[in-house]
Homo-oligomer: A and B are copies of this chain.
Amino acid sequence: MSTPSLLILPGDGIGPEVMAEVRKIVDWFGKKRDLAFDVSEDLVGGAAYDAHGAPLSDATMARAQEADAVLLGAVGGPKYDDLDFSVKPERGLLRLRKEMDLFANLRPAQCFDALADFSSLKRDVVAGLDIMIVRELTSGIYFGEPRGIVQEGNERVGVNTQRYTESEIDRVARAAFELARRRGNKVCSMEKANVMESGILWREVVTKVHAESYPDVELSHMYADAGAMQLCRAPKQFDVIVTDNLFGDILSDCAAMLTGSLGMLPSASLGAPMANGRPKALYEPVHGSAPDIAGQGKANPIACILSFAMALRYSFDKGEEADRLERAVEAVLAQGARTPDLMGPEGGAPISTTEMGDAVLDAL
Chain A interfacial positions (CB closer than 8 Å to B): 76, 85, 88, 90, 94, 120-122, 125, 141-142, 144, 147-149, 152, 155-167, 192, 194-202, 224-226, 228-229, 231-234, 246-247, 249-251, 253-254, 256-258, 262
Contacts and interface: CB of A to CB of B under 8 A. Distances in A.
Given A120-B122, A250-B247, A198 B228 contact: no
Contact of A194 (B88, B164, B224, B256): B88
Contacts of A141: 141, 162, 196
A195 B121 contact: no
Given A155-B165, A233-B257, 15 more contacts: A88-B194, A90-B195, A120-B234, A141-B141, A149-B201, A158-B162, A158-B164, A158-B198, A159-B198, A162-B162, A192-B246, A226-B253, A228-B253, A231-B254, A247-B250
Given A120-B233, A201-B156, A90 B225 contact: no
A225 B200 contact: no
Nearest to A198: B158
Oligomeric state, in copies: 2
A236 to B, nearest CB: 11
B148 A85 contact: no
A120 B201 contact: no
Nearest to A202: B158
A206 B88 CA distance: 21
Contacts of A257: 228-229, 232-233
A141 B228 CA distance: 18
B249 A159 contact: no
A197 B85 contact: yes
A313 B165 CA distance: 46
Nearest to A195: B142
Contacts of A88: 194
B159 A163 contact: yes
Contact of A161 (B121, B159, B164, B249): B159
Contacts of A198: 158-160
B234 A195 contact: no
Contact of A197 (B147, B162, B192, B199): B147
A164 B202 CA distance: 24
Question: Which one of A142, A158, A199, A249 has the highest number of Cβ atoms from chain B below 10 Å of its Cβ?
Answer: A158
Nearest to A123: B122
Contacts of A247: 250
A251 B231 CA distance: 12
Nearest to A156: B166
Nearest to A166: B155
Contacts of A165: 152, 155-157
Contacts of A125: 120
Given A157-B163, A162-B141, A253-B225, A200 B262 contact: no
A229 B75 CA distance: 19
B158 A200 contact: yes
Nearest to A144: B159
